[in-house]
């Protein structure tokens, strides 16, 4: 089964690479992100060949899955293919609500024990590859997948704890809006997202955004005494 899954992912990558139109000369090295999230990234976009992790947030805060999807939305609308591996609870309706083009989204909910092989195959042809991190991952696997993303010009988005990412996003606070006096409907969530990484991303950043967004982002500076990191929306 794992072999068939990897073969299927490789076949998908072969079909997607020409469809995405990736420039082998590297003329278009940045994939766009929502304006609300651009300030968290050192290049204000997803740099091809980079690893941008969405770290695990506190279960009570939530918001990690929404953050992960929001990170893909603008690139998807601009014509890039995206893949999400190992997130069986991800719903197409939620992805569409956050702006992802479903005809350019590949889902691999159950990659099997050879998940790293499946992810590597998708990196070969898909612009942005999200993968849930299955527990503890060896340093050799981390290095191998990051190197493959650099070589192929894809963006690797680990969804969970991942050592050595160029940038790690994490939801540190969140509050729902919509309920009034015990009734109403949960409509959107205000989340505080922090970012920390290496090189140009070493200086911590923090913003507050609405997910789903309404373009009313408010940027804030983290206090010196507080550790900040980036977390993706999740259950």
More confidently predicted of 213 and 14:
14
Domain boundary assignment for the chain: 2-18+29-166, 168-220
Reported as a pLDDT band with limits 50, 70 and 90, residue 232 is very low
pTM higher than 0.85: no
Per-residue pLDDT, 157: 98
Helices (H), 92-180: 92-97, 115-123, 139-152
Gap between the Cα atoms of 51 and 129, Å rounded:
10
Euclidean distance between CA atoms 74 and 48, whole angstroms:
15
In CATH, what number does 2-18+29-166 get? 3.40.50.300
* pLDDT, tens only, 93-151: 888 888 899 999 999 999 998 999 999 999 999 999 999 999 889 999 999 999 999 99
Q: What are phi and psi of 33, to 5 degrees?
A: -130, 165
Q: In degrees to the nearest 10, what's the CA dihedral of 199, 203, 208, 212?
A: 10
Distance of CA 89 to the CA centre of its chain: 15
């Amino acid at each position: 089964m794992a072999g068939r899954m990897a073969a299927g992912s490789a076949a998908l990558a072969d079909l997607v690479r020409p469809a995405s139109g990736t420039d082998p000369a590297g003329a278009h090295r940045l994939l766009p992100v929502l304006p609300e999230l651009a300030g968290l990234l050192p290049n204000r976009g997803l740099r091809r060949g980079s690893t941008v992790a969405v770290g695990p947030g506190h279960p009570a805060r939530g918001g990690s899955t929404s953050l992960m999807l929001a990170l893909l939305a603008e690139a998807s609308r601009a014509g890039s293919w995206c893949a999400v591996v190992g997130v069986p609870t991800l719903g197409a309706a939620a992805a569409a609500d956050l702006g992802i083009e479903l005809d350019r989204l590949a889902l691999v909910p159950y990659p099997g024990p050879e998940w790293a092989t499946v992810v590597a195959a998708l990196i070969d042809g898909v612009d942005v590859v999200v993968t849930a991190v299955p527990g503890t991952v060896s340093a050799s696997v981390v290095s191998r997948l990051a190197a493959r993303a650099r070589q192929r010009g894809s963006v690797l988005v680990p969804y969970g704890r991942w050592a050595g990412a160029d940038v790690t996003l994490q939801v540190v606070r969140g509050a729902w809006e919509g309920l009034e006096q015990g009734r109403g409907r949960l409509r959107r969530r205000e989340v505080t997202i922090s970012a920390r990484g290496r090189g140009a991303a070493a200086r911590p950043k923090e913003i507050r955004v609405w997910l789903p967004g309404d373009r009313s982002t408010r940027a804030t500076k983290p206090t010196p005494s507080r550790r900040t990191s980036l977390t993706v929306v999740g259950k």
